[in-house]
Amino acid sequence: MEIDELRREVDRADNEIISLLSRRMDIVKAIAIIKKSNKAPIFDKKREIELLNRVKEEAKGKKLSEDFISKLYELILEHSRREQEK
């Protein structure tokens, strides 16, 4: 493969990532509605720990850095909490 073709592949992968993040945020907003109607707290430490452990295991299985995935998901979770607080 030539570099331009590989870059197009990266661009397609980036577009997929953005689409999935958008879908995730739509789900997060739906969860926020349920939490608010049930007067449940936005932050669920147990759930976040479980999620981080799960994605790190998934990353390990795909030979990705657990540290990278952990930092990425901490950012995603922080943004998700902010969205739910709106």
| Pair of tokens at residue 80 | 């998700």
Residue 86's pLDDT band, with cuts at 50, 70 and 90, is confident
Three-class secondary structure of residue 33 per DSSP: helix
Q: What is the pLDDT of residue 56?
A: 96
| Pair of tokens at residue 17 | 């990532």
Contact 39, 49 (CB under 8 A): no
Evaluated on CA atoms 25, 70, 53, 44, the torsion sign reads negative
Q: What is the pLDDT of residue 74?
A: 96
Q: Does CATH place domain 3-85 in 1.20.59.10?
A: yes
73 CB-near residues (< 8 Å, 6+ apart): 51, 52, 55
Q: What is the pLDDT of residue 14?
A: 98
Give residue limits of the domains in the chain: 3-85
- The pTM of this model reads 0.87
pLDDT digits (tens, 9 = 90+) for 12-37: 999 999 999 999 999 999 999 999 99
